[in-house]
Structure 1
C-alpha cells in the first residue's frame, strides 16, 4: 500500500501538428475554370451570330490552316475575313496585303481625303486660270486699256470675273441691253479663254439703284437679265461652248458692288462665275426636274389641281 501511495503521476500532453499549407492552388484552378467557361460561352455566341458562309470558312481554315495560309484567299489575312492577321506587320489593321490582284470589294477609300484632293486640284486650276486671264489682259493692248473695268477674284462659288461700268465708259447703251463695241471685244476674248477649262459658267447682270420702269412694266430686273443674256451671246461668239453655260440671271440692284453708294456706276456690271464643282452640283440639284410616273397621268393632274385649289371631277 505504501508503494501505491508513492506512484508517480504521469501527465500526457498531446501535441497537434497542423497540416502543411497548400499555397492556394485551388484558386488558380478555379480561375482557369471560369476563364474556360467564359471562352466557351463567347464561342457559342460567335457561332450563333456568324453567317453560314463564314462558318464554312472558319471550318476550312482550321481543317487545313497551312494550306489556306500558303495558297491565299478569303481566309488568309484578308481584311474582310473574320480571322484577321497575316503579312509582314502583324499590327496592321487591314491584315495581309496580297501581291496579286485585290478584290475591289475588299478595298477601302478615304472619301474625305479624296474630296479634299479634288477640291485642291480645282482651286489650283481656277487660280491658274485667273493668272492666265490677267496675263492675257496685260499683253492684249485692247484689254489692257480697260484693265480697271475688269475685276478678278476667287469666291466660294469659283473664279469671279466682273466687268464694271465707268462714269464715262458704260458697257451697254443707256437703259438698253445693247453691248458696246469695246465690251463685245472683251467678252469675245474672255469666252475664248474660258472654253479651255472644263468648268461650267454662270452669268449675272447687275444695275445700280437708279429707278427704271417703263409703261410696259420693264424694270431693272428685266434689264439686268437681258444684259446678262446679251453677254452670254458675246461669250459664245468668242468661242465659248454654249453647253458650258449653266446659269444666266438678272439681279437688278439686289447685290451692289459698292454698298456705301448704291448709285455708283461700278454697280452696273456683268459677273461671270467659273463655277467650282460644289457650286455646279448645287445648281444642277436646284434645277433637277420632278419626274411623274407615265402610267399615272390622271392622278398627277388631279394632284396638281388639288394643290392649286381647283375642283377635281370624280
Structure 2
C-alpha cells in the first residue's frame, strides 16, 4: 500500500485513553464499602465509658447538665443495705472510730435508731441490760387474728435481716398479744397466735439469709403488757412483736443461748 492509499483512507477511530468509565463508579462503591466496614469495626471496639464521658463534655459545652460515670461500685445492693451502711458511717464519724472494729451496744443502738427513724412511732428502739430491742406494732406486720406477714412488713423485716447479716448478735423474736381471747381452729388461744407470729418472722429472716443458729422465737400471749388492756389504744400497743438483739454480756454462763456462729 502506497502513501497515496493511506492518505485517501477516511479518518481512523481514536483509541480510548485510561480506564473504562464504569471503573470510577466501582472504585467509589468499593471505597464507601471499605469506609462502612471500618466504621462498624471502630464502633464494635469502642470504649462505651469514654464515649459517654465525651458525650457529657459535649453536652456541658452546650450548657446541658451531664451525667458523670465513675469507676466505682455501690457497696450495697439494696436500699436497706445502703441505709445501714450510711448509718454505720455516720456513727463511725461521730464517734471517731472505724466501723470495721465493731460496735458497742450503745453504738449499735444509735445505728438501729437511725435505720428505723423514718418509720416513726410504728417502730420503737430502746436499750436495756438485755440488749437493743426494736418494738414493732403488730398491725404493721400482721392482719388482725393472723400470723401471715403483710406485704408491708418487708419495710421492717428487711432491716432486721440486714442487721443480722451485718452483725453477730443473737436475736430473740418475742410475740405479744392483747388480752382479748381468741379461739379458732388454728389458734386455740393467744399463746399459739403470739408464738406463730414470732415463728413467721423468724422464718422470713432465715429466707433472707439470717443464721438460724442465732435466732429464737418466743410467744408471750398477753402475759407481758406494756399498756393497760382496758382501752383500744392500750390493746393496740400490747399487740406487738419485739426483736431483741441480745447483749452478749447478758447471757449467763452455762445458760441457754443459740449456738454461736
TM range (shorter): 0.5 to 0.7
Between 236-245 and 170-179, report the one with greater CA deviation: 236-245
Count residues with an aligned counterpart: 155
Cross-structure match for 1:126: 105
Q: CA deviation at 1:256?
A: 0.7
Instruction: Flag structure 2 segments of 5+ consecutive residues without an equivalent.
Output: 1-102
Are the aligned partners of 2:175 and 2:220 in contact in 1 as well (CA < 8 Å)?
A: yes
**2:255 pairs with 1:285:** yes
Q: CA deviation at 1:173?
A: 1.9
For residue 250 of structure 1, the aligned residue among 212, 219, 229 is 219
Cross-structure match for 2:128: 155
Measure the CA separation in 2 of the matches of 1:280 and 1:187.
25
Q: CA deviation at 1:236?
A: 2.6
Name the SS of the counterpart of 2:145 in structure 1.
coil
Alignment of 1:167-246 (within 5 A): 169-214=139-184, 218-245=188-215
Q: CA deviation at 1:250?
A: 0.3
What TM-score, normalized by structure 1, do the two folds share? Answer: 0.45
Q: Aligned pair in 2 of structure 1 residues 223, 260: CA closer, same or farther (>3 Å)?
A: closer
Measure the CA separation in 1 of the matches of 2:107 and 2:163.
12
Instruction: Flag structure 1 segments of 5+ consecutive residues without an equivalent.
Output: 1-123, 139-143, 289-314
**2:228 pairs with 1:259:** yes
Measure the CA separation in 2 of the matches of 1:136 and 1:287.
26
Q: CA deviation at 1:242?
A: 1.7
Tell which structure's C-alpha radius of gyration is larger. Answer: 1
What TM-score, normalized by structure 2, do the two folds share? Answer: 0.53
Measure the CA separation in 2 of the matches of 1:147 and 1:156.
24
Measure the CA separation in 2 of the matches of 1:220 and 1:150.
22
Measure the CA separation in 2 of the matches of 1:159 and 1:181.
25
Q: Aligned pair in 2 of structure 1 residues 243, 151: CA closer, same or farther (>3 Å)?
A: same
The Cα offsets for residues 259-289 of structure 1, whole Å up to 9 and x where unpaired, read as 364752111111111111243336x62479x
Are the aligned partners of 1:184 and 1:234 in contact in 2 as well (CA < 8 Å)?
A: no
